[in-house]
Structure 1
């Protein structure tokens, strides 16, 4: 391992360990949708979709807000020759380095033709970056976490977490494939039908100066502090994905002024590619993605977001390098779950089994990994190994 890579890795551990977070925004404090801007223009990803403003979305019955829960639907009643009505929103507020925690019990994935995402975006794409926290197409079995960036982050050379690196070119825009750098899992409980069958869970994304990390905790296995007053990611064990500053990627410079977004589009630049459609089980239904989305409204009744909490934490004094003499490792009693990385043979997609080697039933076995990680981190701290 290169010395610079090792130093960056230790720096990331230190940053998470010593960040003292405070609640910046609770999106359920007041009216949720008042804090978002509605996109009502053409889809930038060329999807077979028709976005509307807030008034239109309410009139179509695509928005639902109750005490402690919001839902965003797509049209599931009409054949739609010009695109299926849906919702795309982004926060009015902009963030620079933060801890983003969201609790969902349902998401639109796992349905042929869909391309849903919960993500963040800077003002100028790709110069200011994009962070895809939860994203996928059709009936894919697990989540794909991706970064898109400009010339200040071209390739992913330094990573961590339990997921598998599947793409390494972060650089997006003209002259690229726009695929981004990606860490993925085939664990069905993290996305789509499997996520919904298990009543969802909590995603937490920690954006530091030199790393971006993502944890997933299924229903019933979330750390007690994740949505609390002062969450402590250092006690959560290894993340599902960690993107780290390296020789060809400067996280601090490449990701700026991010807004949080939800959207559900259909087909388009990714899901609508003939090879992507053709390689999915969806190709057995119709010849093209657009034909399926246009002609089968009832199949999209379950293509909705159901969100129970969304909080953003920040620390204006937070830095990703450690103090000169860190103290002993904190002991945590938090319960955590770490999904397994994908194997060479993806699991068959079904009704969202939450059992098997990659499901919640394997939680107890993975507690050993959590304890080992805590011992590893504690050993570094006791030796003063985090001085940079």
Structure 2
């Protein structure tokens, strides 16, 4: 039986409408974001995240002729030894509470040896407010990696309908609880070659759910959406990463989230010798991330940029606490977690028996 048909039989009458809150796109994209304006003192990367005027002046943040937003690493300056390379980190001025949805449409993701890009969300008083990594990878990783970061007590229990590959499950560990994307073209050069794609994340009392679609598979509900329209999730299918609240009460570990877009270099992940040398040992004569990449002309950073069509944020159309079933459904907020979740879990169990 087809998955969508099975769900329609199991979940009759369930709707999945979200109302638009913010549309970040085009010439107005940067109006409601804050630029970091300091060196990377968070992940110890070898970059200076520029302030807004300098980022625009150096054209590391701009809107191109196609109307898409570019956020990039400096690929034109000659950086001497012991100096850092310029880059950009921006954070939304608004925070988004439970019942929110983020849809990110991109044409190109940064990649290359030493490159560490991320689009993620951050709660207040980190790590107490939680962190959701929607897009993240390093060096020449071929696929995207999802993660949650929390204080101790949040465990990722994988439901049967998640399409990604769970690895580490304790969200309080330094790497977080990880899910690897298995669909093709989710990162590196394959993403751009496929004309990019769309990532979406649902932040709800019932859990946190993240989807990826390469361009040719983007659902009609997203293709047909506008900067002012609501959106329906009923054609989205199962998520790549499903962090259900049964083993991680979302309201306990996550506060209102701000979105962050940044690119750093080397640092606490991309620059770790074991991780760096696995993919990039031949990138330069020393085998050291900083020495072989950050220093010099910067020509090796020609692919170290985001090209973003839009970032749209939504809120549930249901007043009061949302109860968004993982595939985009909702309830009136009066049902228990079991009442909300049992149809989806039953669908997953039936799928495993087919």
**TM-score interval w.r.t. the shorter chain?**
0.7 to 0.9
The secondary structure found in structure 2 opposite 1:124 is coil
Q: Verify: 1:51 aligned to 2:49, yes or no.
A: yes
Separation (CA, whole Å) in 1 of partners of 2:129 and 2:203: 14
- Residue 271 of structure 1 pairs with residue 270 of structure 2: yes
Counterpart position of 1:197: 193
SS of 1:85 mapped into structure 2:
strand
C-alpha change, 1:119 and 1:252, in structure 2 (3 Å) is same
Query: Offset of 1:187 from its aligned partner?
Result: 4.0
**SS class of match (1:220):** helix
Alpha-carbon distance in structure 2 between the residues aligned to 1:276 and 1:204? 27
* Match in the other structure for 2:214: 218
**SS of equivalent to 1:295:** coil
Identify which of 198, 203, 210 aligns with 1:207: 203
| Aligned positions, number | 310
1:39 matched residue in structure 2:
36
Partner of residue 136, structure 2:
135
Give the direction of change, closer, same or farther, for the CA distance of 1:18–1:255 in structure 2 (3 Å limit).
Answer: farther
| TM-score scaled by length of structure 1 | 0.74
Partner residue in 2 for 1:7: none
Name the SS for the 1:278 alignment partner: helix
Maintained 8 Å contact 1:115/1:138: yes
Equivalent positions of 1:206-355 (< 5 A) are 206-226=202-222, 228=225, 229-247=229-247, 249-280=248-279, 282-286=280-284, 287-293=287-293, 294-295=295-296, 297-315=298-316, 317=319, 318-320=322-324, 322=331
Q: CA RMSD of the aligned region, Å? A: 2.6
> What's the CA shift string for 1:278-313, capped at 9, x where partnerless?
222x11123111112223510101211111111101
Q: Are the structure 2 counterparts of residues 42 and 112 from structure 1 closer, same or farther at C-alpha, using a change threshold of 3 Å?
A: same
**1:71-82 matched pairs, under 5 angstroms:** 71-80=70-79, 81=81, 82=83
For normalisation by structure 2, the TM-score amounts to 0.81
C-alpha contact 2:26 2:67 (8 A) present in aligned 1: no
CA distance in 2 between counterparts of 1:311 and 1:124 reads: 25
Within 2, Cα distance between the matches of 1:20 and 1:308? 22
The alpha-carbon deviation at position 42 of structure 1 amounts to 2.7
- Secondary structure at the aligned position of 1:226 is classed as helix
Query: Could you say if the C-alpha distance between residues 239 and 64 of structure 1 is closer, same or farther in structure 2, counting changes exceeding 3 Å?
Result: same
* TM-aligned CA deviation for residue 60 of structure 1: 1.3
Q: Does the 8 Å contact 1:17/1:232 carry over to 2?
A: no
Structure 2 counterpart of 1:26: 23
For 1:386, the equivalent position in structure 2 comes to: none
Deviation per residue, 1:217-274 (Å, 9 max, x gap): 1113211212622322232111111111123x21122111111111000100001111
